[in-house]
Amino acid sequence: MLHRFERPRSIAEAARLLASGPWSVLAGGTDLYPAHVGRRIAAPLLDITAVAGLRGIRRDEHFWTIGATTTWTDVLRAELPPLFDALKAAAREVGGVQIQNAGTVAGNVCNASPAADGTPVLLALGARVVLTSERGERELALDEFVLGSRRTACAADELVVALRIPARSERARSAFAKLGGRRYLTISISTVAVVVDLDASGVITEANVAVGSCSAVGRRLPALEARLAGVHAGHDLAGLVEPGDLAPLTPIDDLRGSAAYRLDATATLVRRALCEVAA
Ligand SMILES: Cc1cc2nc3c(=O)[nH]c(=O)nc-3n(C[C@H](O)[C@H](O)[C@H](O)COP(=O)(O)OP(=O)(O)OC[C@H]3O[C@@H](n4cnc5c(N)ncnc54)[C@H](O)[C@@H]3O)c2cc1C
């Protein structure tokens, strides 16, 4: 049973409502509703799917902007450069087609599950989160926004309006690798995203490697990133991975896999993703 339901048409109206008291923001509902099966949703629902200007992906000189109500299916249908191959690969494996049609990229981030498939990709892309409220707009790096398992820096009166990703050269590319109990409709055991930018001769100018499902929050692998910079993309990139590179990860033992298995699988996924960007 609901107390109240509102479906604002503008960001200003949404911000005014959010300032008036506690709300549960509803985008695709594919995390929110399953989390409340058999339970009443405590706060009234603020459905943001009709807010103008929040859906779609656009590019300006410096950034790509993914609006907050952009779904995984929108990502798959958008014409995007190879920089976004990892995001498309993640989109293809989030749940099934019905979940991809309703679920949003921003909702995945706001839900802050350690197993969210979007998070490692967005970390590797250097995504920033744009938040709006009646107090004004602010922007946080993704690792400042996701504070822990199911915890974000989004205040009760704030709405995430977009994810902002720095534009790279047209040579930039990315890859995503996911291990789950099965291919679709499964919670990830480990996910890896790699983003590399190259100079005109094929040398890596910047490498970002991020891992999901192996810590309370997604983690970058800075030692590996530093080793990859300056290497030609045609080199055996997978051979550059060292065991110590996974030190930032703190996987747990659970019914989906032991911590040791997760680490071992992650090393393999990192190598696979590197082979893909080198190919
Ligand atoms: C069967 C099934 C399979 C799934 N498979 C996967 C999978 O393989 N990989 C994966 O990562 N996830 C999976 N999910 C989880 C889910 O589909 C995704 O996380 C999805 O991207 C969530 O987006 P949403 O729009 O539905 O979020 P919602 O459920 O609408 O919202 C999620 C949370 O974020 C908050 N929120 C949403 N948007 C905003 C905003 N703009 N500002 C502030 N707060 C906001 C909501 O209040 C809520 O707390 C699955 C879910 C189901 C039911």
What tens digit of pLDDT does each residue of 53-95 get?
999 999 999 999 999 999 999 999 999 999 999 999 999 999 9
Q: Is 73 in the pocket of ligand 1 (CB under 6 A)?
A: no
Distance 247 CA to ligand 1 centre (A): 29
Q: State which amino acid sits at residue 52.
A: A
Distance 178 CA to ligand 1 centre (A): 18
Contact status, residue 259 vs residue 252, Cβ threshold 8 Å:
yes
Residue 68: both structure tokens together? 């907050």
Mutate to test the pocket of ligand 1, among 7, 17, 26, 30 (most ligand atoms within 8 A of CB): 30
Tell how far CA 105 is from the center of its chain: 7
Contact status, residue 184 vs residue 93, Cβ threshold 8 Å:
yes
What is the DSSP code (8-state) at residue 257?
B
Q: Is 251 in the pocket of ligand 1 (CB under 6 A)?
A: no
Mean pLDDT of 119-129: 98
- Give pLDDT tens digits for 143-202: 999 999 999 999 999 999 999 999 999 999 999 999 987 777 778 899 999 999 999 999
Instruction: Say what the pLDDT of residue 2 is.
Output: 56
Average pLDDT, whole number, for the chain?
95
Asked whether the predicted pLDDT for residue 120 surpasses 60, the reply is yes
Q: Is 172 in the pocket of ligand 1 (CB under 6 A)?
A: no
Question: Rounded CA gap, 188 and 179, in Å?
Answer: 6
- Give pLDDT tens digits for 229-278: 999 999 999 999 998 999 999 998 888 889 999 999 999 999 999 999 99
Share of the chain above pLDDT 70, in %: 99
Strand 63-67, strand 159-166: pairing: antiparallel
Q: Is 157 in the pocket of ligand 1 (CB under 6 A)?
A: no
Instruction: Say what the pLDDT of residue 186 is.
Output: 74
**99: enclosing H helix or E strand:** helix 97-102
SS3 content of the chain, % helix, strand, coil (to 5): 30, 30, 40
Distance 71 CA to ligand 1 centre (A): 10
Q: Is 108 in the pocket of ligand 1 (CB under 6 A)?
A: yes
Distance 32 CA to ligand 1 centre (A): 7
Q: What is the DSSP string of 114-177?
A: TT-SHHHHHHHTT-EEEEEETTEEEEEEHHHHEEETTEES--TT-EEEEEEEE---TT-EEEEE
Q: Is 68 in the pocket of ligand 1 (CB under 6 A)?
A: yes
- Which amino acid residue places its CA nearest to atom 38 of ligand 1? 107
Residue with tokens 């799917």: 49
